[in-house]
Structure formats: structure tokens, C-alpha cells
Amino acid sequence: MNDRTRWLLLPLLLSLGVWSSSFSNGFVWDDHVLIEKNVANLSSFSFSSIFGQDFWTTETDAGSSNYYRPLVTLSYVIDYALFGVSSSGFHVTNVILHSLNVALLFFLLTELALPLAVCAAGAALFAVHPALAESVAWVSGRTDLVATTWILLCILVLLAACKTQKPNVPGLLVAGLCCLGGLLSKESALLAPLLALGFAGFVRGSRAVTTLTISPFLAAGAIWLTARSQVLSSPVGASLSNGVSNEIGLLSLLHVWGALLWPPFFRIEYGSPLTVPTLAPGAACGALAVAGLLLWTLRPRTPKAARALSAAALVAFIPSVMAVMLKSMIGVRLVYTSAAFALPAVAVVLSRRLPARAATAVLACAISALAALSFLRIPLWTSDQVLFLAALEAPDASSRSHLNLGIALYNTGDLRGAYEHLSMPIDPAAADQQHYMLGLLYTGAQCETKAEAEYRLAAAAKPSSYSAAHNLAGLLFVQGKKDAAKQVLNQFAAKNYTQASAARRQLALFGTLTAAPERAPLDRSWCASPEALRELFGAAIPLNRQASELLRARQTEMAEVFIKAAMRADPNLVAAQLNFAQLLMLRGEMDEASELLRKLIRENPGDDRPVQLLLRSSQGAAPQPQPNP
């Protein structure tokens, strides 16, 4: 083992040691849509499902994010093939990707002719910094990891291609392919050519920046833009948001940098109302960080390697400027790629300005402290509940965190908690989601008048929401109002061409079904007051009764929520467990259903219902929802 390998092991082991604690994290927030509810796409290796769709396209939604990131989708497809819907496997991939970036960064630092100890220290700072937790410990943060991998590869390959007096053409082509890989992973890789050419000019001299070396990057950009134009409704990717004011945008950008300098100023939720008081402390720290990088970039006395790294950090952040200014959201992970250059610059400056022992002690203490903070931050992505409860505990908690927590509680069966948080005043910009979720709750509780009103409010708040139109049409159809249901879908299809095909499929389905006789909306007694609904959502037997009704109607997703709620209220309610077994049978998960039924037989020897259900399942009979005792 040579010296370079030995020094590389230090940051690699730190990366694996710190972030391995994220293996126990679950799927959180966007993960549910991109992975758990997207199995149909992830189970397909078809070119069209990976390279021919918007990044946010799922099996039920055509997607309209204007993000084109097929290589990240491909990584999810591979993970699904290896691990199924197991969050641990996806988190392992994230940690491997981050550790790969740590190794690539180490090799880049050695190309800058830095001592191996300084290379290891710079890579170690990047390996353990808690500001990177959102990218590493959250599966959906993978876009930053994959894009940075390609950017670093692009830089290293170009350096290798320009090692001789005449650039190596095959190497230049590979560098162009790496650039294309970055662009197909995240839009922030648009500046990969500038970073690669900048480092090549710094290390290899002016001969590395010629028309020949630039050409592969121009070709990669042309291919990427052509692909985007074929797939996305807006190839430029402009946001549909109104963006933010210049003042708030600047504070937001500085706030992100503040996370590198002073980790306690992290934000842990998107979509927050951005105000001067909430952003000012982090922005002050960020201003110091950016000022330091600018000073190091422009000051001739700064070590040359630190100047190059500081300039690269600032350049790499330019796409994030657009992200913040075009969208009213802020995420710490915007700084991931920039951190790969900014943090090693700190190590270089300290190693030159301090005596060797002092620099080693300072860097060792900093790495240890950052690693400890990362250990504290990683558990935030354990689950939605943990993340959004923590968000609500913050002094500047946003109302959207009530929405996000309400959705999380709904999915886990805590319907009382979901109802409480979804009923809170929430940012009007998220009104469509709030009304849609309340509509789901009222639908499951058979409060059809309230459900219809909420779906209509959701559709009015966001006319492009197919989910609201879909559920409203379905609710009208089961009430025998077939013409009204068709009208809802026809109006939606006329206004939303990107999702018109989904609406037409539902219309075609309605055409094959015979509508029931028209009836008035069904409203149970508890629909009259919030107090009665809260009581329902905490009572096991009524909840399981509703679950049985939903199973009979084959509304399996909503039935699962109400079954979970019933079992949460009374873990020993056999009828709820029997309904869960039947839900598994309806999904075709016969082995899991049989295992659960055998468990119930062992635990309840005097109850013949599990025996009868197991017998029916073995005979292939249709499951029958279980009444309450």
C-alpha cells in the first residue's frame, strides 16, 4: 500500500463511519413519490421510462417539474432491482456515492500538488460536514451526489487528457461524456465545463484551454438541450413560481453558505415563508464565508491551490443562485457541490498559515466536531414525523410544516393527529395540498359533502392537480352523478394537456361501468362537528368499520390507512388484522397474508375467522372484509 492510498483511507473511513448511521433511516417526503409510489416505473428498465420522461413522472402523474435527471432515475431503478422497496439499500447507495466523491476530491487535491496530509484533511472536512446531511442522509438528495460525481470525474479526466503537450482526443471525449452525465443528473452541472477548464488551465497551463478542449463540452450541452427539448414542456426549465424578491433571494443564498460556517443555522424544511428575521443570522454567517472565499480568490498572497478551490466553490454555486431566485424555497443541499471545493480550501489555508502541529490540531478538532454534529443531524431523516416535528419546534417554524406533518401522520394511520395538523392555518400557496388531504380524510370517514367541497377547493387552488380532479370525479360517480363526473374530467383534460391522457383513461373506465342510481351525498353522524371526527379518528372499531367499507369498494390505499389507524388505536383488534390480511390478498401478496393469518391462529385459538379466511385464500376465493366483533 503506497502513501497516497494510506492517506486516502482516512477520509474514506470517516465518510463510511459517519454516514453509515443513515442506513436505518426510512423514506422521507419526496422519497414516497419518487420511490415507494413509483414501483411501476422503477421495475421497468425501458429507455422511455428513464430517459423519456420528466424526473417527477410517476405511474399516476405525468410530471411537470421541468427537471430532466434520467441518470438519477436510473440509479433508483438499479437500487429497486437490488433491494426492492427497502430504504436501507437506497441509503447505502447514497453513502457509497458520497464516499466516491470524497475519493475523487482527494485525487483532485493531489493534482494540485498539495501534500498528502493536506489532501486527506481537505477531503475529510468534506466527508463529515453536517451541512451535507440533506444530500447524503436523504434518498432524494441523491441528485447532488450523482451530479457532483460526474463533475469531479469531468475535471479529473480533462486533467489527464491535457497531461501531454497535445491533448489526448479520446480523453477529451470521455471528459465530454462525464459532463453530459452531470447534466443528465442535475441542472447544476451546467457549469462543469467552466470548472473543468478552470482547473485544467490552473494545473496544465493555457494550452489546456483551446477550441479542441472546449468542443466536447459544447457537444455535450447540445445533446442535453436537445434531449430536454424532446421530453420537457419547457426546455429552459423556467420555474412556474413567482420567485422571491431580490432582498430575500440574497439573504437565502447567504443563509445556505452560513450552514458551512456555522452549522446550527440549518433550515430543515422546504417551502417556508422566507423573511428577513428568519434568514438574517444564517445570512450573516454566510456573508463571512463568501467574503472569505472572495478574498482568497482575489488576494495574490493566498496559496494558489486555495485560490483555485475558492474560485471553483463560488462558480459551482451559480446554478443555486438561479434555483433560489426562481423558486420560493431554500435547501441546505444547494451547497453540496460548492462544499467540495470550499472546505478543502480551508484546509489549504490553515496548513499554510499555521505551524504544522497547530494546523494538524485545529483540523483534527474541526473534523471531530463536524462529525459529531453530523451524527446528531442524520436522525432527522429517520421518518417524516421526526423531520417535520423538528421543523415545527424551530423558532421560525413555517405553517407548511403542519401540512407536511399532517400528510406523514395520515400515511402512518395517525388520523387524529393528521386531522389536527391539516386543519391548522397553512400558507395559501399550499392550499391545494391541504384541501386535497382533508378531502381524503372526509372521504374515508364517509363525509361526502365535506369531501366534495375540499376536492373542489383543491382543484380551484391548483387547476393542474389531477389528483383533486380524479378524486372529485370518482366521488361524483359513486353517487350516481356520471355526467357531472365526466364534466370534471373533460374540463381538466381541456385545460391540462400534459395530463389529459390520464383524465381520458378515467373517462374510458367510466364508460365501461354502470353508474349506481343517483343519490344524495352520504354523511355519517360524526361529520357534523370536528369534535366528533376527532373521536372517530381515535376509535378502533369505527375506524375498522370504515376500513371494511373501503375494502368492499376496492379503495385499497385509503383502506390501508384506516386499517393502520384501527390497529394504532387497538393493536389487539383481530378484525383489523384480518382486514389487513385481506388487503394483502387483494394486492396479490399471498405469502405475507398467509403468514399473518397463521400468526393470528396461534394467538387466538378460539377464533375461527383466521382459519376460515386462510382456507378461502388457499381456495382462491375473493376475500370478504371482516365485521367488527
Q: What is the mean pLDDT of residues 597-615?
A: 86
Distance, in Å, from the CA atom of 441 to the CA atom of 427, rounded to the nearest integer, reads 20
* Whether 18 contacts 371, CB under 8 Å: yes
Instruction: Give the Å distances, CA to CA, from 217 to 68, 438, 570.
Output: 18, 49, 61
- Chain segment 424-457, per-residue pLDDT in tens: 998 887 899 999 999 999 999 999 999 999 999 9
Mean pLDDT of 527-531: 93
Tell me, what's the pLDDT at 265? 66
Residue from 237, 236, 233, 271 nearest 62 by CA: 233
Most confident listed range (101-110, 521-530, 606-615): 101-110
- Taking the C-alpha atoms of residue 389 and residue 405, their distance in angstroms, rounded to an integer, is 7
Residue 382: count other Cβ atoms within 10 Å of its Cβ.
16
Mean pLDDT of 573-593: 89
Residue 278 has pLDDT above 90, yes or no: no
What's the CA gap between 162 and 123, in Å, rounded? Answer: 24
pLDDT at 545 over 50: yes
Band (329; pLDDT cuts 50, 70, 90): low
Whether the per-residue pLDDT at 549 is higher than 80: the answer is yes
For all residues of the chain together, what is the average pLDDT? 89
pLDDT (tens digit per residue) in 244-262: 677 888 888 888 899 898 8
For each of the domains in the chain, give its residue range(s) and CATH number, in order of start.
3-379 (no CATH), 399-512 (1.25.40.10), 539-618 (1.25.40)
Our measurement of the distance from residue 12's CA atom to the centroid of its chain's CA atoms, rounded to an integer in Å, reads: 25
**Closest to 240 measured CA to CA, from 454, 407, 67:** 67
Q: Tell me the C-alpha distance between 518 and 481, whole Å.
A: 6
Average pLDDT estimate for 114-140 = 95
pLDDT at 244: 64
The whole-number pLDDT of residue 629 equals 44
Q: List phi, psi (to 5°) of 284.
A: -65, -45
Would you say residue 243 has pLDDT above 60? no
Please report the pLDDT score of residue 327 as a whole number.
Answer: 64
Three cell numbers at 246?
Answer: 431580490
In the beta sheet, which residues pair with residue 523?
A: 447
Distance CA 465, CA 492 (A): 9
Cα–Cα distance, 579 to 629 (Å, whole number): 13
Check residue 208 and give its pLDDT: 82
Q: How far is CA 591 from CA 59, 344, 581, in A?
A: 25, 52, 10
| Assigned C-alpha cell, 347 | 484546509
Chain position carrying cell 361501468: 513
pLDDT at 75 over 80: yes
Q: Label each residue of 171-202 as H, E or C.
A: HHHHHHHHHHHHHCCCHHHHHHHHHHHHHHHH
Average pLDDT over residues 598-622: 80
172-211 pLDDT per residue, tens: 999 999 999 999 999 999 999 999 999 999 998 887 888 9
Least-confidence region, from 102-111, 325-334, 378-387, 503-512: 325-334
Nearest CA-CA partner of 533 in 559, 564, 565: 565
**The pLDDT value given to residue 628:** 47
Q: Which residues contact 114 (CB under 8 A, 6 or more apart)?
A: 122, 305, 348
pLDDT at 623 exceeding the cut of 60? no
For residue 45, pLDDT beyond 80 = no
Cα(406)–Cα(348) distance, rounded to whole angstroms? Answer: 46
Question: Do 315 and 279 contact (CB within 8 A), yes or no?
Answer: no
Q: Which residue has the higher pLDDT, 241 or 566?
A: 566
Q: What is the pLDDT of residue 533?
A: 94
Provide the 3-class DSSP secondary structure of residue 523. Answer: strand
Backbone angles phi, psi at 623, to 5 degrees: -65, 150
Residue pLDDT, tens place only, 397-430: 778 889 999 999 999 999 999 999 999 998 887 8
Higher pLDDT, 515 or 173: 173
pLDDT of residue 621: 52
| Range of lowest pLDDT (230-239, 473-482, 492-501, 601-610) | 230-239
Residue 316 pLDDT > 90, yes or no? yes
Q: Mean pLDDT, to the nearest integer, of 573-596?
A: 89
- 626: pLDDT strictly greater than 60: no
Find the mean pLDDT for residues 5-33: 94
What angle separates helix 116-128 from helix 87-111, to the nearest 10 degrees?
150
What does the chain come to in residues? 629
- pLDDT for 324: 75
Min mean pLDDT across 44-48, 382-386, 526-530, 569-573 is at 44-48
pLDDT digits (tens, 9 = 90+) for 462-491: 998 888 999 999 999 999 999 999 999 999
- With b meaning 16 or more CB within 10 Å and e meaning fewer, what string describes 72-82? bbbbbbebbee
Asked if the model's pLDDT at residue 368 lies above 80, the reply is yes
Q: Residue 366 has what pLDDT?
A: 95
Ranges 36-50, 412-426, 496-510, most confident: 412-426
pLDDT of residue 238: 47
Task: Read off the DSSP letter of residue 240.
Answer: S
